[in-house]
Amino acid sequence: MTLNSIARRAVLAALVWCGGSIATIAATPDEIRPLHTAVIKSTTGLCHRGTICHKDRAGVWIPETPIAILGVLVAEQADIGLYTDLEVSTRPEMYQCNGGDAQGCIFRMKYAGPGLFDYGAQSGSTYLGSNITNTSITFPPGYGILVPAGTPIHVHLDVRNNSLIDLKVDQDAWIYYVPVK
């Protein structure tokens, strides 16, 4: 079995998992290869209410071997009025993936959390409801983003805290990959 056919099956498995669907993949036990997962824990630290908290390299993971990234999942973890802009890249700073040079750019997402119904309130809890979302990307069969061994993969965060409270903002990224030779 070739690396491309293994990667195709791994991407299909990631699509099935990320999509929440249940499906059967026709493969013998000898054909199945493990899909590896790395979780990049990232945080802006304490983000005061009404402020913008920007942090380049809010989290990092350095693969020890060359890898092919087949998918990325960012699960929303904040249930409050936040605007989050997140990048996963091998670039050391955020917002370097704009324009024509996309080398090192892996994933970008923006999220506007549920609104606060404050109607001019200056204190108290005016939060209403919850919003659970996942943002993910998977690549077509046979494709992946190749990252050399020892190359740092960063999560960059730009958060606007529109809530009425100070928050410690944590946002993790799941990287689904296979080792390459």
User: How does pLDDT run across 90-124, given as a tens digit for each residue?
Assistant: 999 998 877 667 788 898 888 766 554 454 555 55
**H or E stretch including 4?**
helix 3-19
- Greater confidence (103 vs 39) lies with 39
Mean pLDDT of 119-134: 54
Question: What's the pTM?
Answer: 0.72
What does the pLDDT look like over 59-82, one tens digit per residue? 999 999 999 999 999 876 555 667
Which of 134, 137, 21 has its CA nearest to residue 72?
137
Beta-carbon contacts of 168 under 8 Å, excluding residues fewer than 6 positions away, are: 43, 45, 46, 47
CATH code for position 92: 2.60.120
Q: How many domains, the chain?
A: 1
Residue-number span of the structural domain to which 112 is assigned: 3-179
2: left (phi over 0), alpha (psi -120 to 50) or beta: beta
Average pLDDT, rounded, for the chain: 77
Confidence at 145, pLDDT banded by 50, 70, 90: very high
How far is 139 from 30, CA to CA, in rounded Å?
A: 24
